[in-house]
Amino acid sequence: MRIWVDADACPKIVKEILYNAARKRLIEVTFVANQYLSVPNSPNIRFLKVKPGFDVADNEIVRRVVAGDLVITADIPLAQEILDKGGFALNPRGELYSLETIAAKVTLRDFYDTMRSSGLQTSGPPTITQSDRRQFANELDKILTKNSF
């Protein structure tokens, strides 16, 4: 299993949890972004810079992911593509996306996107809380424990 991170919008605290997991579990974690990201010097932690552009990082992650890999993302369409390839997708709040619920999440996301396009003002996602951080760390640990060889 490899971990791929949609790093452009990934919260700093989640990145720190992933750095620690890479070091402790000796698992490869690759942060993918279209702008430079400083990552710790470690043989298990990598940074992949992609060209600027809409969904370029997402498309690169989809291209490289194989069944059984884990992707960290809040991007619901990206999560759906990962699930379709047999991977796991976990959002920064610790919610593990599933094939059973992803279609409803895509529909809701598209609805809100349509509302925003028609001029409705919406706020962004709330700040990551301590509870979210714990939920993410716990879910990551469960996934890694269950899928370690």
CATH number at residue 127: 3.40.50
Q: How high is the pLDDT of residue 100? A: 78
The rounded distance, in Å, linking the Cα atoms of 89 and 40 is 23
What's the number of domains the chain is made of? 1
Q: How high is the pLDDT of residue 140? A: 97
Q: How high is the pLDDT of residue 16? A: 97
pLDDT tens for the 149 residues of the chain, in order? 999 999 988 999 999 999 999 999 999 999 999 999 999 999 999 999 999 998 999 999 999 999 999 999 999 999 999 999 999 999 999 999 988 787 667 666 655 666 667 776 666 677 889 999 999 999 999 999 998 74
This model's pTM is above 0.95: no
Q: Which position has the token pair 């992803």? A: 102
Burial 113-137 (b: 16+ CB within 10 A, else e): eeeeeeeeeeeeeeebeeebbebbb
Pairing of strands 70-72, 88-90: parallel
Q: How high is the pLDDT of residue 40? A: 96
Residue 94 lies in domain: 3-146
Q: How high is the pLDDT of residue 56? A: 94
